[in-house]
Chains A and B, each alone.
Chain A
Amino acid sequence: MEKDLKELYHIKRSAGFRSDFESFRSLLSYQARLEMLDKTGALSPSPSLVNLRTRAKADAHRRHSFPDHVDPDFLQRAIRKAQEALKGPKPPKPFVPSLEQLRLAQRARDEEIEERLRPKRKPLPTSLPPEDEAEVDAFFRKRGVVSKIAREQVSHEDISRLRPCQWLNDEIINFYGQLILTRAEESKENPPVNGSRKPLNAHYFSTFFWSKLKGQGYQKARLSKWTKKIDIFSKDVILIPVNHNNAHWTAAAINFRKKRIESYDSMGMERGQVFKLLRQYLDEEHRDKKKKPFDFTGWQDYILPDTPQQENGYDCGVFTCQFLEALSRGEEDFAFTQDNMPYLRRKMVWEIGHAKLRDDP
């Protein structure tokens, strides 16, 4: 029997048991006892009329003799079980990192940081194809109304704001928003076939939405009527340009897929008010259309840690348009930086002039 015990001990050692033989013997006794108690039901409620004194005596006897429960039969079963376990998949080795592993982990971490600083994503071009660049110049020369889409139109005065260093106005932002909205709606009927990712089911609120919400509030601004033809709760994402004090543009989104209120600010400023007012809007819109409060369970206020930042005092409108455009395609981060702004301004002229978003980056 001692031999069986030793054999079992060796099997267990080879399977990863790390303590000494005496510990093993006590563990085994404990196991055997638990098994026996399970069988005899010592812990289960007794049937009525049990003579507790006799029972206690029997228990006392048992307690003193418990090492004997490790009988040959139990041992044989234990050995069989251990051998079967050995054939099975091995438990993972306890993790003690070697110097090499530590170095590898360190390098992986460095590479991750490197990647975030210099994304492997294909860099944006610096200019459009020559013929398209010529078209951009032509759009700049046009006078009067330069382009129309749905209920939006831009004049040459608006378009000239896309020249370098100019502030953008509501006409440019809302025209661009309409381009985003039109693409989202067209892709619902004709999904893109050329392998590009399908735009999200997005809704775009014009720049006046935020002014109304902030200035007058849901009721007084009659915002319930803005959605008489759409159900915002059926959308993937609601895109909202936000004008701050007639001096700064940022982008906000109500992301129904991720349950997030999102704010994208190329100046990286604190935007608590955006979160607060959009939450209020969601709740009031839900009460108005669905007749009950909005359920905010699981909803978060979200700011992308690496939001691209402007490095001057005039590009925020371009950043805002590009945030909204990328968000409407379900992007989680952005491929552009300050360096790309001159190119993106010209690209936007082309897109607005043709009333159509380009497929290339």
Chain B
Amino acid sequence: MSDMEQNPPTQDAEPKVEDPNAPINIKVTTQTGEEVFFKIKRNTKLSKLQGAYANKVGKDVNSIRFLYDGSRIGDDDTPASLDMEDNDTIDVMVEQVGGSA
């Protein structure tokens, strides 16, 4: 899923794994306040983080949405492309539906 990536696809999107090459800490938080922390290099695609998160919480990645400051995170976004800072937060939301009960 990360053929375009320049960094070796190590475990840099795995939870709580150190990477010496300028990684930043990112918190993924749910609507109910559960938090998962990641370390990710600034040029690594956030889609890796999304996949890792979905894996960790046991959800289909297509059923959850990742937002940074209200904007949807795209497939090609990286912390650098979104100007993310160390200790920034990503919100994870679940699919919403409605018809009228």
Contact = CB atoms under 8 A, between A and B. Distances in A.
Interface string A244-266: 11111100000000000000001
A212 interface: yes
A216 B100 CA distance: 24
Contacts of B73: 151
Contacts of B65: 170, 208
Nearest to B96: A170
Interface stretch (A114-122, A129-137, A313-321): A313-321
Given A155-B62, A209-B70, A211-B93, A216 B31 contact: yes
Contacts of B72: 151-152, 174, 206
A205 B62 CA distance: 21
Interface residues of B, number: 21
A171 B23 CA distance: 31
A30 to B, nearest CB: 71
A174 B96 CA distance: 11
B31 A211 contact: yes
Report whether over half of chain A's contact residues are helix, strand or loop; otherwise say mixed: mixed
Given A170-B96, A170-B97, A206-B70, 12 more contacts: A155-B62, A167-B97, A169-B97, A170-B93, A174-B72, A211-B93, A244-B98, A247-B100, A248-B100, A267-B100, A313-B101, A315-B100
Contacts of A312: 100
A246 B97 contact: yes
Nearest to B75: A153
Contacts of B33: 216
